[in-house]
Amino acid sequence: MPGSPEPGSPSRPLELDDDRILPTEPTVRAIAREIFAAVRDLPLISMHGHVEASVLAHDEPFPDPAQLLVVPDHYVTRMLVSQGARLEDLGVPRRDGGPVERDGRTIWRLFCSGWHLFRGTPSRFWLEQELHDVFGVRVQPSAETADAIYDQILDCIGRPDFRPRALFDSFGLEILATTDAPASALDDHALIAASGWGGVVVPTFRPDALVHLARPTWKQDVEELGAVAGRDVSGYAGFLDALRQRREHFVRLGARATDHGHLTADTTPLERVDAERIYAAALSGAVTPAEAEAFAAHMLFEMARMSRDDGLVMQIHPGVLRNHDPAVHERFGPDKGFDIPQPVDFVRGLRPMLTAFGTDPGFRCVVFTVDETTYSRELAPLAGAYPAMRLGVPWWFLDSPLAMRRFREAVTETAGFYNTAGFVDDTRAFASIPARHDVARRVDSGFLAQLVAEGQLRIDEAIETAVDLTVTIPREAYAPRGA
Amino acid sequence: MPGSPEPGSPSRPLELDDDRILPTEPTVRAIAREIFAAVRDLPLISMHGHVEASVLAHDEPFPDPAQLLVVPDHYVTRMLVSQGARLEDLGVPRRDGGPVERDGRTIWRLFCSGWHLFRGTPSRFWLEQELHDVFGVRVQPSAETADAIYDQILDCIGRPDFRPRALFDSFGLEILATTDAPASALDDHALIAASGWGGVVVPTFRPDALVHLARPTWKQDVEELGAVAGRDVSGYAGFLDALRQRREHFVRLGARATDHGHLTADTTPLERVDAERIYAAALSGAVTPAEAEAFAAHMLFEMARMSRDDGLVMQIHPGVLRNHDPAVHERFGPDKGFDIPQPVDFVRGLRPMLTAFGTDPGFRCVVFTVDETTYSRELAPLAGAYPAMRLGVPWWFLDSPLAMRRFREAVTETAGFYNTAGFVDDTRAFASIPARHDVARRVDSGFLAQLVAEGQLRIDEAIETAVDLTVTIPREAYAPRGA
Amino acid sequence: MPGSPEPGSPSRPLELDDDRILPTEPTVRAIAREIFAAVRDLPLISMHGHVEASVLAHDEPFPDPAQLLVVPDHYVTRMLVSQGARLEDLGVPRRDGGPVERDGRTIWRLFCSGWHLFRGTPSRFWLEQELHDVFGVRVQPSAETADAIYDQILDCIGRPDFRPRALFDSFGLEILATTDAPASALDDHALIAASGWGGVVVPTFRPDALVHLARPTWKQDVEELGAVAGRDVSGYAGFLDALRQRREHFVRLGARATDHGHLTADTTPLERVDAERIYAAALSGAVTPAEAEAFAAHMLFEMARMSRDDGLVMQIHPGVLRNHDPAVHERFGPDKGFDIPQPVDFVRGLRPMLTAFGTDPGFRCVVFTVDETTYSRELAPLAGAYPAMRLGVPWWFLDSPLAMRRFREAVTETAGFYNTAGFVDDTRAFASIPARHDVARRVDSGFLAQLVAEGQLRIDEAIETAVDLTVTIPREAYAPRGA
């Protein structure tokens, strides 16, 4: 790959600067250190992620290093692909079961030889901290060091203290929310609850597959929903009933929130009769794209209404065009790095929902974006007015030091700190969770330190605010609502 | 409210760092201090605000602290509302005259208990400086300190040197522009002029209510315009004549500018016959939304033409969707914090106006935005080409340290300093005017200091530029045009 | 002009700070110096510019200082125009041959008296470095110093070591790409190649005039193309053939790339029969605006296909509304500073091209923008996924220290360094080329130094990356593709 270090160049040590990401000006850094010290070791509150509950329910050892750190992480694989690697060579399974690389060590070597591509990215930061802190690696990945690192990690993950539950405990996770389909029985969550292990793992209700009528599996997913919920879903009323039933089930198993990924932020409700008609059309396979879009928007509104009624916090993250390259989607499925953000109109999109429920004490929504242009223009003014709304912190592409800093810089002056929600790590990579929270705490400490150094905030207020951002605010933001 | 300091925690002192907001790196800060020293005490030129002329015409003592600092300031009330307070409890009058909190001390306590919500916001900065410099408060607001601060301010505002005119003089205001409806007789301005008091208070011509045909009061406003102007406004020609007559009246009373708040930046003129037809339709109550939009755009063009003819500087600030929550509007009226910015197309929107008048030495427009995405993409390139156009500095949501810094960073490299206009404080809160100008001077000094420290500008040039930004440029930008 | 220094004020020295634009915090600056030292004197790779090959083919002395530094530089003239100067007074030729200022010294004086307008702009930086390093000027331009500077430059450009080829060599240019119409015979390039002088000057294939059917000269340009290519262009197939023939000619003369300026990023291909029909309609003068737009998008797709086949790198820079003021265009022609960026939809626009060729090893595109909102939202995610795509670095309005810094800050965390392309100077001003590359190297060094100071990158990696950005990456990005 272009720009790689010369083959045979000496290994570079992997060291972690204790002040990493903190501001560089010495006075500000000293203030930031003081703030960061107050939050560094606070519990991790992980309310939005993609770790499977089964990992913690069964507590099996992780497979090989490539399967742990490379293959399932689309941040990592897409970067290697962007420089000419093939997903097959990175071990990403093909939908047709065709041949892909299965040797962990071979995949790991390919990843290590592309290590320089991650310079300046959060993947570099997370992986470095993970390799260093979790697996004790002290040399940077490269073609030369690949095998030694592979062996070292392989040795770790065979040991009991590297099992998922042991890591969960050592990470200091106060709570971990998973992401689950409405039809999920949540057996893994039940298993964890019944296990006597003290870890708190809660489900999150994600109904996307059921509200996007144009998805090829929609009818099948709805039928599965009906079966699991014990409701007749041949009509729209039964569909809503089934959703309500599943939400109740999620609430019983500790769910705090729902999660909604839509192409737009539209929340315009339909007339009941139109919703019924479109639902029926979808069941008979005759729905138009415009009807499907209108129904998705309508269902966001309905989900808000249900949230107002059952207290689940509603997480909305619109504006990503999924599977930009249909060939990649066709061959490897979704979530392979070819999801591209697009502009979102939150102002008109959220208006129906916010005017209906935005001042209702029973309703809480957390709104995420990957379109930074909306921070100061739309989201901060909305969150700075409607009591039901909180701003989701930077996420996905923006879950990185500079982007997090830009978020605080763009929204704080309009919405303050207390209209934002806690950090969400949104990860599939279980072992990266501490590093991800660590970045957020460092960035927030640095931003607060700057305010102190500029005479805009007192140090005791800054420390109080940092603690609030780390634990008080996310606990409150995701607390069950309502009666 | 979440995150509040524990009840009973000790009071925090309120101190002002003399270097507040200046850059933190010591070398840059020293340069910034030198620049700031040259502009810190220059006169305040306040060409765009919402203080009522009556305040200065009658020079009555201010009412209680809550009525002075909380109730009319939608920056303050919306932040408290966003965290669960009710506008009623903040004393904001209901349109139906229904009951709201009337006890200033009770409102003040609610405000003080939410003081932490303003951390990192410009409201915090302004209020802190105002409390400290104007009222001599030396303790931060909190539930514990609320009463003492209330009493201290109450004591001040009863004294002669806290009357509006006394404050005007002590603030160093060179000129204060108000915002006025075209039908206003401007009696308060005349009263001030005749009073012998030396303060310069000039009106600003704001015809929004007359050009947005869909507003429910439009017909009534037009009839009032006709009556005041002594013109028959039953036809479009008379309407234009009446507007011209009122502009002349404003000019006679010292007006320098007009002010235009539109949803879009569209300035497309209509054919005369279409303007006449739509005007007639509006009078008969039969105008369509599309016609109303087209007429508003047309009237911006017509206002530009009149500005070219009578020399009033034209201020345009498009792109805010007013009254996002109709329930709040219905209950409390406009300007209650539920106005949300939206994207604006300046490139095509301003094109008709700029191609008609943009190179005419008799025309001057100052264009404001709350959509930061347009700074480097649209506004700086336009202002860096058309001689008639100046860039309005950050305003409303963006009237804050970081947003002002982003403005200079985004526009200077394309438009330079001399295509921007002076700072506008846009405030309803009279006592906050010095603090608001102070922020702008600090931010500009810091930005210039950075250029000096980076070897891009000499210190003598930086000082000259800072002085120009503070007084030379706004005096020139708002100087009467034309013959 | 407003804000000018007082007439008669003493001359200001023109000095260059050796650390200019580097970060100001001393620790970070020291790191930045070390990085910058490694790239400062590397060869200049200038793959995208507007210097005419004839300048180097004929190697004539430059005309007077105004013709060298003011008249052809629309960055300079538009800034003076924005503050009231007339293009006529700046010597810009009128299309009708009408009178304009012809005296170089008079033009130069006007420019010098407006020197303060360039404070904080890259023009100031470039001109200062150019005046200092190339022409030995040691005093800042002003009304007082104008004549002395004029004489000093005039003296220089009469000397052999200030001839274009001598400057080319002393600048350290490794390669210079020009911009050329497809019908160009490229005689000047051939002349240079045959001259025995060692400078590498390559053409760039820019077919805009041939794909935008609505341009008044389109038919004439197509006929010229046909004549030069020896192809019958009366049908669409012959048109494509002629383009292919010319691309081959360009490749033979060393071309590395094509260059495409479009209003949008649309690359949707037409059905063959529709392309043929629209082409025929255009030839008969009966094309609609919608057809012309669709054809332009289609031709981007076709150009991508040809690039895949012949290995020319495809440069795309959409989103500029040209000639915003038609009166300026009518009087002075294109490229006079009245070109204004507008929003671009890269996500949907580039999708047809990227899904067709984005993973093809034979295809390479470099995508530029002047809409910064697309950096983190669209361009970095796209370039961080598709192997064929590289991000063009900041360009035109954004070719400046702060904008370059924003680019690295916005894209690196998602796309890394290795998915960007090398610096492009995009200049008509030959003597400014070293200064422009110098800025980019300083900004990149500063950005990398910040990562080092924050513990995100090792210094040896930062130096390696800086060298890669300066020479390795642009050499690879613009290397001929394909078999």
Test the A interface: residue of B340, B372, B378 with most A CBs within 10 Å: B340
Given a cut of 50, is residue B131 above it in pLDDT? yes
CATH class of A62-159: mainly alpha
Test the C interface: residue of A119, A377, A404, A409 with most C CBs within 10 Å: A119
- Average pLDDT of the residues in C376-395: 97
Distance set, CA B296 to CA A406, A461, B318, B368, C426 (Å): 36, 47, 12, 18, 41
- Average pLDDT of the residues in C199-216: 96
Given a cut of 80, is residue C20 above it in pLDDT? yes
Q: Exposed, middle or buried: residue C385 (CB in 10 Å: 0-12, 13-18, 19+)?
A: buried
Residues of C in contact with B351 (CB under 8 A): 324
Residues of C in contact with B345 (CB under 8 A): 342-343
Test the B interface: residue of C113, C139, C324, C400 with most B CBs within 10 Å: C324
Q: Can you tell me which residue has the tokens 């039969």?
A: B286
For B401-421, write each residue's pLDDT tens digit.
Answer: 999 999 999 999 999 999 999
Show Cβ contacts of residue C234 under 8 Å, excluding neighbours closer than 6 positions: C226, C283
Q: Which of B378, B385, B461 sits opposite C119 (nearest CB)?
A: B461
CATH 3.30.465.10 at B164-477, yes or no: no
Q: Do B454 and C20 lie within an 8 Å CB cutoff?
A: yes
- Asked if A320 and A327 count as a contact pair (C-beta separation under 8 A), the reply is no
Q: Where are the beta strands (DSSP E) in B214-265?
A: 257-260
What confidence score (pLDDT) does residue C483 get? 44
* Single-letter amino acid, residue A296: A
Strands A340-341 and A320-321 turn out to be: antiparallel
Report the mean per-residue pLDDT for chain A.
Answer: 96
- Average pLDDT of the residues in C434-463: 98
Q: Which of C373, C416, C455 sits opposite A121 (nearest CB)?
A: C416
Show Cβ contacts of residue A210 under 8 Å, excluding neighbours closer than 6 positions: A182, A218, A221, A222, A225, A239, A243, A299
Interface partners of chain A (CB pairs < 8 Å, 3 or more) are B, C
Q: What is the largest CA-CA distance in chain C?
A: 70
Strands B340-341 and B365-367 turn out to be: unpaired
For B35-55, write each residue's pLDDT tens digit.
Answer: 999 999 999 999 999 999 999
Number of helices followed by number of strands (H, E) in chain A: 23, 9
Kindly report the backbone phi and psi dihedral angles of residue C123, in degrees, each rounded to the nearest multiple of 5, phi listed first: -55, -45
What confidence score (pLDDT) does residue C4 get? 55
Give dist(CA A192, CA A202) in Å, integer: 10
Q: Start-end ranges of CATH 1.10.2020.10 in chain C?
A: 63-161
Q: Do C321 and B348 lie within an 8 Å CB cutoff?
A: yes
Kindly indicate the confidence band of residue B5, based on its pLDDT and cuts at 50, 70 and 90: low
For B259-271, write each residue's pLDDT tens digit.
Answer: 999 999 999 999 9
In angstroms, the separation between the Cα of residue B406 and the nearest Cα of chain A is 10
- Asked if C48 and C204 count as a contact pair (C-beta separation under 8 A), the reply is yes
- Asked if C280 and C236 count as a contact pair (C-beta separation under 8 A), the reply is yes
- Dihedral, CA atoms, C464, C470, C472, C477, nearest 10 degrees? 140
Kindly indicate the confidence band of residue A480, based on its pLDDT and cuts at 50, 70 and 90: confident
Test the A interface: residue of B324, B368, B369 with most A CBs within 10 Å: B324
CA-based nearest residue to A222, from A238, A202, A203: A238
- Average pLDDT of the residues in A27-51: 97
What confidence score (pLDDT) does residue A483 get? 44
Give dist(CA C319, CA C329) in Å, integer: 18
Q: Which of A355, A412, A473 sits opposite B120 (nearest CB)?
A: A412
Q: Which residues of A224-254 are buried (b: 16+ CB within 10 A; e: fewer)?
A: bbbebbebebeebebbbbbbbbbbebbbebb
In angstroms, the separation between the Cα of residue C160 and the nearest Cα of chain B is 31
Residue-wise DSSP of B51-93: --HHHHHH-PPP--HHHHHTTT-HHHHHHHHHTT--TGGGTPP
For B290-340, write each residue's pLDDT tens digit.
Answer: 999 999 999 999 999 999 999 999 999 999 999 999 999 999 999 999 999
Given a cut of 90, is residue A399 above it in pLDDT? yes
CA-based nearest residue to C131, from C118, C121, C122, C140: C140
What confidence score (pLDDT) does residue B44 get? 98
Q: Which of C12, C340, C406 sits opposite B347 (nearest CB)?
A: C340
Residues of C in contact with A83 (CB under 8 A): 387, 418-419
* Single-letter amino acid, residue B254: G
- The SS3 of residue A435 is helix
Residues of B in contact with A380 (CB under 8 A): 397
Q: Do A347 and B326 lie within an 8 Å CB cutoff?
A: no
CA-based nearest residue to C19, from B27, A342, B345, B218: B27
Residues of C in contact with B386 (CB under 8 A): 82, 325
Interface partners of chain C (CB pairs < 8 Å, 3 or more) are A, B
CB atoms within 10 A of CB B286: 10
Strands A313-316 and A257-260 turn out to be: parallel
- Asked if A306 and A313 count as a contact pair (C-beta separation under 8 A), the reply is no
In angstroms, the separation between the Cα of residue C443 and the nearest Cα of chain A is 15
For A232-279, write each residue's pLDDT tens digit.
Answer: 999 999 999 999 999 999 999 999 999 999 999 999 999 999 999 999
Element (H, E) at A65: helix A65-69
Q: Start-end ranges of CATH 1.10.2020.10 in chain B?
A: 63-159
Residues of B in contact with C3 (CB under 8 A): 417-418, 464-465, 468, 472-473, 476
In angstroms, the separation between the Cα of residue A412 and the nearest Cα of chain B is 6
What percentage of chain B reaches a pLDDT higher than 90?
95
- Asked if A116 and A83 count as a contact pair (C-beta separation under 8 A), the reply is no
Length of chain A: 483
What confidence score (pLDDT) does residue A9 get? 67
- Asked if B89 and B101 count as a contact pair (C-beta separation under 8 A), the reply is yes
For B203-221, write each residue's pLDDT tens digit.
Answer: 999 999 999 999 999 999 9
Strands B320-321 and B313-316 turn out to be: unpaired
* Single-letter amino acid, residue A53: A
Element (H, E) at B107: helix B104-113
Residues of B in contact with C32 (CB under 8 A): none
* Single-letter amino acid, residue A137: V
Q: Do B79 and A458 lie within an 8 Å CB cutoff?
A: no
- Asked if C482 and C311 count as a contact pair (C-beta separation under 8 A), the reply is yes
Distance of CA B287 to the CA centre of its chain: 31
Kindly indicate the confidence band of residue C400, based on its pLDDT and cuts at 50, 70 and 90: very high
Q: What is the ipTM of this complex?
A: 0.96
Element (H, E) at A366: strand A365-367
Residues of A in contact with B371 (CB under 8 A): 377
Given a cut of 50, is residue B30 above it in pLDDT? yes
CB atoms within 10 A of CB B158: 11
Q: Do B351 and C125 lie within an 8 Å CB cutoff?
A: no
Residues of B in contact with A472 (CB under 8 A): 2-3
- Say how many CB pairs under 8 Å bridge A and C: 150
- Say how many CB pairs under 8 Å bridge A and B: 150
- Average pLDDT of the residues in C434-442: 98
Q: Where are the beta strands (DSSP E) in A118-266?
A: 173-177, 201-202, 257-260
Given a cut of 50, is residue B483 above it in pLDDT? no
Q: Do A124 and C387 lie within an 8 Å CB cutoff?
A: no
Q: Which of B12, B26, B121 sits opposite A416 (nearest CB)?
A: B121
Kindly report the backbone phi and psi dihedral angles of residue B296, in degrees, each rounded to the nearest multiple of 5, phi listed first: -60, -45
Q: Which of A81, A120, A373 sits opposite C451 (nearest CB)?
A: A120
Residues of B in contact with A355 (CB under 8 A): 324-327
* Single-letter amino acid, residue A21: I
- Average pLDDT of the residues in C357-374: 97
Distance of CA C349 to the CA centre of its chain: 22
Give dist(CA C84, CA B387) in Å, integer: 6
The architecture CATH gives domain C63-161: Orthogonal Bundle (1.10)
Report the mean per-residue pLDDT for chain B.
Answer: 96
The radius of gyration computed from the CA coordinates of chain B, to the nearest angstrom, equals 23
What confidence score (pLDDT) does residue C402 get? 98
- Average pLDDT of the residues in A468-476: 97
Q: Checking phi first, is residue C311 left (phi over 0); if not, alpha (psi -120 to 50) or beta?
A: left
Give dist(CA B220, CA B226) in Å, integer: 10
- The SS3 of residue A181 is coil
Q: Which of C28, C377, C383 sits opposite A372 (nearest CB)?
A: C377
Of 1.10.3720.10, 1.10.3470.10, 1.10.2020.10, 1.20.120.10, the CATH number of B63-159 is: 1.10.2020.10
In angstroms, the separation between the Cα of residue C389 and the nearest Cα of chain A is 8
Give dist(CA A210, CA C253) in Å, integer: 58
Q: Which of B385, B409, B465 sits opposite C81 (nearest CB)?
A: B385
Distance set, CA C264 to CA A399, B443, C299, C320 (Å): 30, 36, 13, 8
Q: Start-end ranges of CATH 3.20.20.140 in chain B?
A: 164-477
Which residue of chain B comes nearest to A358, CA vs CA? Answer: B325
In angstroms, the separation between the Cα of residue C25 and the nearest Cα of chain A is 6
Residues of B in contact with A354 (CB under 8 A): 324-325
CB atoms within 10 A of CB C437: 25
Report the mean per-residue pLDDT for chain C.
Answer: 96
The more confidently predicted of residues C442 and A428 is: C442
Q: Which of B354, B358, B417 sits opposite C119 (nearest CB)?
A: B417
In angstroms, the separation between the Cα of residue C34 and the nearest Cα of chain A is 17
Q: Start-end ranges of CATH 1.10.2020.10 in chain A?
A: 62-159
Element (H, E) at A45: strand A44-46
Which residue of chain B comes nearest to C399, CA vs CA? Answer: B413
Give dist(CA B140, CA B137) in Å, integer: 8
Test the C interface: residue of B369, B386, B407 with most C CBs within 10 Å: B386
Per DSSP, helices labelled H in C141-212 are 146-157, 164-171, 187-194, 208-211
CA-based nearest residue to B467, from C120, C402, C4, C1: C4
Kindly indicate the confidence band of residue B428, based on its pLDDT and cuts at 50, 70 and 90: confident
CA-based nearest residue to A1, from A111, A105, A76, A92: A111
In angstroms, the separation between the Cα of residue C329 and the nearest Cα of chain A is 32
Show Cβ contacts of residue A298 under 8 Å, excluding neighbours closer than 6 positions: A268, A269, A270, A275
